[in-house]
Chains A and B, each alone.
Chain A
Amino acid sequence: DQQVKQNSPSLSVQEGRISILNCDYTNSMFDYFLWYKKYPAEGPTFLISISSIKDKNEDGRFTVFLNKSAKHLSLHIVPSQPGDSAVYFCAASEGTGNQFYFGTGTSLTVIP
């Protein structure tokens, strides 16, 4: 059973607007969450992370929000740019283990 879920396989957004990508998880022991971005024919690239002691982490145009009670995290991209078009994966891990659990990804298309 998948412990990390991304229920939207795809998302289209106009350039300059906000992109919101969502991720849900089932394991309440997860305490470290990451977002990766993947272009075709390339491996996933780390984008931003958040630990469970925070509810928000910001890095430039990218902000990750964590709602522990809802077991939900989201990635906000503002403003969206055509170069942001990629597949975005969320991932989670627990404690000191180095096993990460990944979602199936959301394909973001930013329309110029």
Chain B
Amino acid sequence: ETGVTQTPRHLVMGMTNKKSLKCEQHLGHNAMYWYKQSAKKPLELMFVYNFKEQTENNSVPSRFSPECPNSSHLFLHLHTLQPEDSALYLCASSQIPGTVRQPQHFGDGTRLSIL
């Protein structure tokens, strides 16, 4: 496998459920990201991990809990979500910016629907 793989592609859950989104990258990158994309809004950065250490948490509610066990895997644990959390959740990876700037590479996303 190559690139950035996200599972599941679609998820429907109730507000009291607990579920997890998974992301895996096969690009040898050392930074991983979670984004939220809602309709008519720009991609919103949620979390950043550099060398599996969290470096950014953009005021994300605690009902979203990220986990990065290594530089290739990233999880987003979900619990007690609200209907407004329904969105496309995108994972991305990149090299940590240094002297050479490089783009982020995205997975195909998980379409999340909260009932």
B45 contact from A34, A49, A99, A105, Cβ within 8 A: A99
Number of interface residues of A (CB under 8 A): 27
B45 to chain A, nearest CB (A): 6
User: Is A96 part of the binding interface, using a Cβ–Cβ cutoff of 8 Å?
Assistant: yes
Q: Using A2-B42, A34-B103, A49-B103 as known contacts, say yes or no to A97 and B97 having CB atoms under 8 A apart.
A: yes
| Structural contact, A44 and B90, CB atoms closer than 8 A | yes
Chain B residues within an 8 Å CB radius of A105:
42
Nearest CB in chain A to that of B50: its residue: A98
Instruction: Name which of B96, B103, B107 has the most chain A CB atoms within 10 A of its CB.
Output: B103
Number of interface residues of B (CB under 8 A): 27
| Structural contact, A98 and B108, CB atoms closer than 8 A | no
| Structural contact, A99 and B56, CB atoms closer than 8 A | yes
Give Cα distance in the complex from A102 to B45, angstroms. Answer: 9
Nearest CB in chain B to that of A101: its residue: B42
Q: Which of A6-39 contact B (CB under 8 A)?
A: 32, 34, 36
Give Cα distance in the complex from A46 to B45, angstroms. Answer: 17
| Structural contact, A98 and B42, CB atoms closer than 8 A | no
Q: Which of B16-40 contact A (CB under 8 A)?
A: 31, 33, 40
A2 to chain B, nearest CB (A): 6
Give Cα distance in the complex from A96 to B112, angstroms. Answer: 32
Chain A residues within an 8 Å CB radius of B98:
96
Nearest CB in chain B to that of A103: its residue: B42
Chain B residues within an 8 Å CB radius of A102:
42-43
A44 to chain B, nearest CB (A): 5
| Chain A to chain B contacts (Cβ below 8 Å), 22 pairs | A2-B42, A4-B42, A34-B103, A41-B108, A42-B109, A43-B92, A43-B109, A49-B103, A89-B42, A91-B43, A93-B97, A93-B101, A97-B97, A98-B31, A98-B94, A98-B96, A98-B104, A99-B45, A100-B45, A102-B43, A104-B42, A105-B42
- The 8 tightest CB contacts between A and B, nearest first, are A43-B106, A102-B43, A46-B103, A102-B42, A43-B108, A32-B101, A44-B106, A96-B97
